[in-house]
Structure 1
Amino acid sequence: MKTRITISDVANHANVSKSTVSQYLNKRFDYMGESTKNRIEEAIKELGYQPNAVARSLKQKSTSTIGVIVANILHAFSTQVIRAIEDYCNEYDFHIIVCNADDDPVKERKYIEMLLAKQVDGLIIFPTTGNVELYQKLVDSDYPLVFLDRNVENVDVPVIQLDNVKASKLAVQHFVEKGYQRIAIMTTSLELGVAPRIERINGFKEAIKEHSLVIRDEYVKGLKVEEVQDGLKKMLSMDEPPEAILASNDLILMEVLKYVKAHSIKVPEELAIIGIDDVSFASVYNPALTTIAQPTFVMGTQAAELLIEKLQNKESKIDPVYRYEPTLISRDSC
């Protein structure tokens, strides 16, 4: 049976003390000569030494791991943000564990409890908004926590968000400039009161009023994804159907595109479309899709930066809300 190589073996092989090897492993090189570093590095390679991550985490009271709980991993926004978080954490030698809550508060709670049991150092959550007491418990215990995409009322956690009201206003303004007056918006379910969905509808309504157009309730829908096809059929079968539709996120946009293809609706001649979230295929779809883009990589990086800053300096003062500007990318669907 192969004997496990220990830090003492590395120290003896490199002719240094155990504490010097420990400083090397923790990247504390301030008072370490280049030759010493090289000897330790060679000893680790020659002996095949693997640091005991569990023992190190117990000693340092840190697992160098961050939990990321996304509300729905199917959103392009989610996957792009996760990539940015992972890139930033990798630079600082933090690992991430990604969990998908499926917009289900029960599932989200289980993941939070599981990650806490694994002693992750902090959490980045795209909150379902359905676990307010648990969020507040984390805040009260001064647990490092950042919300992304969604805020939760009365829970004092740093939040990284798009200016959702402005996103809808940019879309409506573009529709109006193109000559459309009967404009609709469709978003995913409003049952949980998810902030971006409500803010985008509020921004839409404000913009409609600002352009002296009529807000029609039949043109404003919040539906479960599986209900969208029926919702579109009802909306577009009206005596005065909308001439243009704002898809409030990429999942709704996909459903709208499925519908127009299935019913041979010409875009933009018969229905103009703008989607919030610049999906990867927007520029190659025919016609190319006009979208409202979020700075996803900047937002993900900011979330990771805030959390790691909090981990490294518990006393650091962090702003409560970070709002990012949307960008209209004009193409051919409107």
Structure 2
Amino acid sequence: MKTVTISDVARHAQTSKSTVSQFLNKRYDYMRDDTKKRIEAAIEELGYSPNIVARSLKQKSTKTIGVIVANILHVFSTQVIRAIEDFCNDSNYHVIVCNADDDPAKEKRYIEMLRAKQVDGIIAFPTGGNVDLYKKLISESYPLVFLDRKVQEISVNTVLLDNEKAAKIAVDEFVKTGYDKIGIITPSLEKGITPRVERVSGFKKALEEHGLPVKPEYIVSAKIADIQRELEKMLNLPEPPKAILALNDRVLFEILKYAKEHSLKIPEDIAVIGIDDVSFAGFYSPELTTIAQPAFDMGKKAAELLLNRIASKGSEVEVNTFRFDPQLKKRSSC
């Protein structure tokens, strides 16, 4: 079967190739309604489908971006992806989502794959293990935005939560409710991942502001698989904490599972606040107090920054860090 071309559509619609091209690119400002109708009819009758690859080569744009998330299991990640996809869809961009599993080697493969597919730019939750590769992208003026995490050696637009403030809000709420023995559980701090380090720092500062001691035994950093075991050690201390801040949603899941398996009542036996407003927080029993991230606003901002960078076509742009405010969702677990 002969491939239908833009020339065939133009002949069938009794107009020029340039007019058909303008129609396909949605540039109708000076196009008569009857011309648009003829082109629409010709495309339908001939079964014409634009050659996306050819158009990309001609326009030097694939109208596609890549998003490399650290771990797609996080509620925050899925919400951010949705916001990015919504914003990009409105701007006629497609999105390729990659899950790096916090693995620098996997992140590197995804960066190379996305470049091979000639995506126009990348939004990344950086692992911190590919500094030289990101520096190379920046030296080439490749559009790049970091989200949720920053890398000190890389100067690039970055979108972050005010993580220290999130931890402070939680500690303030615990103290306001009458708790003075407060612990925190975080995934491993070994890789220096921004939100984890900043939230622990904010936790310590908030305790000091309230005149409470910073007890090392009340600060647990562990792999997700080990959190329940470490929580048990914490709760079996001679003077265990009476309140725990879960640094993110996955830590919160582990705490809730432990509480159920050991018949602990929340907040009677242990009060809990989680950073990340999980979808079930409002109907869990008891309802869970959380610190919400404005994930959709953060995702939209990252997409906006990237598409603006793409539109600048390599010209110099000002580099900034954009911090978003967390919000307390007060419920019944504290």
TM-score (normalised: structure 2): 0.98
Amino acid at match of 1:105: P
Instruction: State the partner residue of 2:317.
Output: 317
Q: Is the 8 A contact 2:155 2:319 kept in 1?
A: no
Q: Does 1:63 align with 2:62?
A: yes
1:154 shift after superposition:
2.1
1:143 shift after superposition:
0.3
Instruction: Choose 28-37 or 122-131, whichever is displaced more.
Output: 28-37
Q: Which runs of 5+ in 2 are unaligned?
A: none
2:34 is paired with a residue whose SS is: helix
Instruction: State the partner residue of 2:246.
Output: 247
Instruction: State the partner residue of 2:213.
Output: 214
Instruction: State the partner residue of 1:177.
Output: 176
Q: Distance in 1 between matches of 2:37 and 2:202?
A: 59
Q: Distance in 1 between matches of 2:274 and 2:204?
A: 16
User: What is the alpha-carbon root mean square deviation over aligned residues?
Assistant: 0.9
1:28 shift after superposition:
2.0
Q: Distance in 1 between matches of 2:235 and 2:228?
A: 11
1:47 shift after superposition:
1.1
Instruction: Choose 23-32 or 283-292, whichever is displaced more.
Output: 23-32
1:137 is paired with a residue whose SS is: helix
Deviation string for 1:6-26 (max 9, x for gaps)? 111100111111111111111
Q: Distance in 1 between matches of 2:159 and 2:263?
A: 39
1:33 shift after superposition:
1.9
Q: Is the 8 A contact 2:161 2:326 kept in 1?
A: yes
Instruction: State the partner residue of 1:39.
Output: 38
Amino acid at match of 1:325: D
1:1-334 paired onto structure 2 within 5 Å: 2-314=1-313, 315=315, 317-334=317-334
TM-score (normalised: structure 1): 0.98
1:316 shift after superposition:
6.7
Q: Indicate the percent of aligned positions where both proteins have the same amino acid.
A: 62
Q: Is the 8 A contact 1:171 1:292 kept in 2?
A: yes
Q: Distance in 1 between matches of 2:41 and 2:299?
A: 37
Q: Which runs of 5+ in 1 are unaligned?
A: none
Amino acid at match of 1:166: K
2:272 is paired with a residue whose SS is: strand
Amino acid at match of 1:32: M
Q: Distance in 2 between matches of 1:81 and 1:263?
A: 34
Q: Would the alpha carbon gap of residues 32 and 325 (structure 1) be closer, same or farther in structure 2, given more than 3 Å must change?
A: same
1:30 shift after superposition:
3.0
